[in-house]
Structure 1
Amino acid sequence: MKKILIPLFSIALLTSCGTSKVTTNNQEKAISSPSVSTRNDKAFQSAYQNITAEDLKKNLYIIASDEMAGRDTGSPGQKKAGAYMVNFYKNLGISYPKVLGSYYQKVPADYMQKRGGGNLPDSENILAFIEGSEKPEEIIVISAHYDHVGTRNGVVYNGADDDGSGTVGVMEIAKAFQSAKKAGNGPKRSILFLHVTGEEHGLFGSEFYSDNPVFPLANTVVDLNIDMIGRDDPENRGKNYVYVIGSEMLSSELKVINEAANKMTNNLELNYKYDDPNDPERLYYRSDHYNFAKNNIPVAFFFDGIHEDYHKPTDDVEKINFVLLQKRAQLVFATAWELANRKERIIVDKK
């Protein structure tokens, strides 16, 4: 997650309404806004179980290894991590957006330098894509940044939580959706798995995507952004929780959908502390979802808090709680499943 605060801008996040049903303890309950889809419970459960702590651990030990040298923007180590991710998607049979022509969206050095990026070299966003079966033009974005802060004074800052945890979370969520597709239950709407670069230096990768979208922003339904979901902070030590930020700022539905998804799955404690506009951390403006929100696209940002190893060389894989990482990734998947498969697209109805 970006450490330096960025200026406050007036923005809003919005979504749609309707009546649907959620299954809880084998009972259907009607609610005023959409809830998690029960269109095909077996398909959902099968895909959901594909997100495992073991696979998250396997991938994170590679993404956050010393070999990746801290994954600084445009560095050889970051490119190694990116190549590993691309091979992961290839092996699953998940392709890239056809209009892009590859998994890579180049983020030029001069673009970042004009925005305060110093002497950063060219870098790349990585995009994997599952086309929707019924409404392929409507796009659900699931994002995480895969850069970190590199090596300083010969010490590698591995960024296992920031944001290795989000990176492998997106990869596992993609695997789950692909398993559903192979079983004949692919998402109705398209899913874009967006790994952005340059977050630590200024949200550059997500800003570049929003300035040069592969799919029209008007067709982008939501961004579910994952930035640090593998640890706990001192305030919540030992709890099964996650901070959710921004889910009702533009939409009256997104928070309801996410809460229903949570209740029917791992029932984490959803903490809205950082939704307070007066919170001094201003986390709503400090990760990649912001570049969607400022374009009036509903967002939800999933986050574990600021812990003692944040932006320190001690942010290592050995400190990750993989069971909690799994539960949080499953929550994002369940939320995305509903957003991708519900009848109506959520609407933007707040400012």
Structure 2
Amino acid sequence: MKKFLVPIFSIVILTSCGSSKVVTNDQSLPQTASSSTSKNDKAFQSAYQTIKLEDLKKNLYVIAADDMEGRDTGSPGQKRAGEYMVNYYKTLGLSFPKTLNSHYQKVPADYMKKRGGGNLPDSENILAFIEGSEKPEEIVVISAHYDHVGTQNGVVYNGADDDGSGTVAVMEIAKAFQSAKKTGNGPKRSILFLHVTGEEHGLFGSEYYSDHPVFPLANTVVDLNIDMIGRDDPENRGKNYVYVIGSEMLSSELKVINEAANKKTVNLELNYKYDDPKDPERLYYRSDHYNFAKNNIPVAFFFDGIHEDYHKPTDDVEKIDYAILQKRTQLVFATAWEIANRKDRIVVDKK
């Protein structure tokens, strides 16, 4: 998460918090009498079960390893992390948008410099894509930033929670959707798995995407943004919860869909403490989702709160609560599944 406020449309840093309750793999949506609905339920359940605690942990131990050198924007360590992610998607058989030549969208140094990025080198957003089977022109975005703050005074800031946790969650959600597609149950709407760079320096990657969208913003249905979901904050220590921000700011339907998905699956406590543009922390404006929201695209931002290891070298993989990381990942997947497969596009009926 980004740590300082920036004027106008830039934002600060976000965080997330964890819970201590253990998640199991048997949560599922109930069956219904309709055969078509029953088929969809079975497809959901099968994909949902592929979101594994062990796989989240395996990927995070790579993404937040010392040899990634804290993944500072454009650094060799960040590029190594990006290569790992791209190879992961290639292994899944998950390609990139047709308008790109690879999984990378370059974010130029000059673009970031003009927005206060100093002397940052060129960097890249990473995009993986599943085309929808019925409404391919409508795009559901699932996002997380994969950069962190690098190395300071020879000490690596690994950023396991910030935002290694969100990064591996997006990777695992992509695997779940791809598994459904391989069985003939791909999403009706297209899904863009968007890993953005430059968040810590000023939300540069998501701003660049919104200025140079691979798909028209008018066709973008929602952004579900994940920034720190592997820990807990002091206020919620030991609780089975997640903060959700922005889910009813632009759409009267998104919060309802997310709450229904939560109730039918992991049943977390959904904490709306920061879900208010007038909140003094102004968290609605402080992560990558806002570059979608400012373009009138509904968003929901999932995070765990600011904990004692936030932006410190002690934000390590050993401190992640993998059980709650799994549950929160499953919740985002369940929400995305409903949005991607429902008959009608969610409404934008608020300002």
TM-score of the alignment, normalized to the shorter chain, above 0.5: yes
Instruction: Count residues in correspondence.
Output: 330
The residue that corresponds to 2:169 in the other structure is 169
The residue that corresponds to 1:146 in the other structure is 146
Question: How far is 1:278 from its partner?
Answer: 2.8
Q: Percent identity?
A: 86
Q: Deviations over 1:176-235 (max 9, x none)?
A: 000000011000000000000000000000000000000000000000000000000000
Partners of 2:57 and 2:199 lie apart in 1 by: 23
CA RMSD of aligned residues (A): 1.4
Partners of 2:332 and 2:288 lie apart in 1 by: 16
Q: State whether residues 32 and 38 of structure 2, in contact with CA within 8 Å, keep that contact through their aligned partners in structure 1.
A: no
Could you say what secondary structure the match of 1:143 adopts? strand
The residue that corresponds to 1:283 in the other structure is 283
- Note closer, same or farther for the CA distance 1:233–1:8 as it changes in structure 2 (3 Å cut): farther
Q: Deviations over 1:271-316 (max 9, x none)?
A: 0000123322111111000000000000000000000000000000
The letter for the 2-side match of 1:322 is Y
Could you say what secondary structure the match of 2:71 adopts? coil
Write out aligned runs for 1:46-61 (5 A).
Answer: 46-61=46-61
Partners of 1:25 and 1:311 lie apart in 2 by: 41
Partners of 1:254 and 1:237 lie apart in 2 by: 27
Q: State whether residues 187 and 341 of structure 1, in contact with CA within 8 Å, keep that contact through their aligned partners in structure 2.
A: yes
Could you say what secondary structure the match of 2:60 adopts? helix
Partners of 1:168 and 1:71 lie apart in 2 by: 14
The residue that corresponds to 1:117 in the other structure is 117
Asked if 1:40 corresponds to 2:40, the answer is: yes
Asked if 1:252 corresponds to 2:252, the answer is: yes
Question: How far is 1:24 from its partner?
Answer: 6.7
Q: State whether residues 254 and 298 of structure 2, in contact with CA within 8 Å, keep that contact through their aligned partners in structure 1.
A: yes
**TM-score, length-normalised on structure 1?**
0.92
Q: State whether residues 6 and 286 of structure 1, in contact with CA within 8 Å, keep that contact through their aligned partners in structure 2.
A: no
The residue that corresponds to 1:234 in the other structure is 234
The residue that corresponds to 1:211 in the other structure is 211
Partners of 1:344 and 1:155 lie apart in 2 by: 50
The letter for the 2-side match of 1:184 is G
Q: State whether residues 31 and 41 of structure 2, in contact with CA within 8 Å, keep that contact through their aligned partners in structure 1.
A: no
Q: Deviations over 1:106-136 (max 9, x none)?
A: 0000000000000000000000000000000
Partners of 1:154 and 1:325 lie apart in 2 by: 29
The residue that corresponds to 2:271 in the other structure is 271
The letter for the 1-side match of 2:316 is D
Q: Deviations over 1:219-255 (max 9, x none)?
A: 0000000000000000000111000000000000000
The residue that corresponds to 1:316 in the other structure is 316
Partners of 2:115 and 2:30 lie apart in 1 by: 51
Write out aligned runs for 1:50-89 (5 A).
Answer: 50-89=50-89
The residue that corresponds to 2:156 in the other structure is 156
Write out aligned runs for 1:8-47 (5 A).
Answer: 40-47=40-47
| Large movers: runs of 4+ above 4 Å | 23-28
Q: State whether residues 8 and 285 of structure 1, in contact with CA within 8 Å, keep that contact through their aligned partners in structure 2.
A: no
Question: How far is 1:149 from its partner?
Answer: 0.2
The residue that corresponds to 1:20 in the other structure is none
**TM-score, length-normalised on structure 2?**
0.92
Question: How far is 1:100 from its partner?
Answer: 1.1
The letter for the 1-side match of 2:202 is G
The letter for the 2-side match of 1:91 is T
Q: State whether residues 142 and 223 of structure 2, in contact with CA within 8 Å, keep that contact through their aligned partners in structure 1.
A: yes
The residue that corresponds to 1:19 in the other structure is none
- Note closer, same or farther for the CA distance 1:38–1:153 as it changes in structure 2 (3 Å cut): farther
Partners of 1:201 and 1:269 lie apart in 2 by: 31
Question: How far is 1:38 from its partner?
Answer: 6.4
Unaligned runs of 5+ in 1: 10-22, 29-36
The residue that corresponds to 1:341 in the other structure is 341
Q: State whether residues 198 and 205 of structure 1, in contact with CA within 8 Å, keep that contact through their aligned partners in structure 2.
A: yes
Partners of 2:114 and 2:226 lie apart in 1 by: 26
Partners of 1:116 and 1:277 lie apart in 2 by: 24
Asked if 1:325 corresponds to 2:339, the answer is: no
Question: How far is 1:5 from its partner?
Answer: 1.7
Could you say what secondary structure the match of 1:40 adopts? helix
The residue that corresponds to 2:262 in the other structure is 262
Q: State whether residues 6 and 285 of structure 1, in contact with CA within 8 Å, keep that contact through their aligned partners in structure 2.
A: no
Could you say what secondary structure the match of 1:74 adopts? coil
Partners of 1:272 and 1:305 lie apart in 2 by: 12
Unaligned runs of 5+ in 2: 10-27
Question: How far is 1:6 from its partner?
Answer: 3.2
The letter for the 1-side match of 2:148 is H
Could you say what secondary structure the match of 2:274 adopts? helix
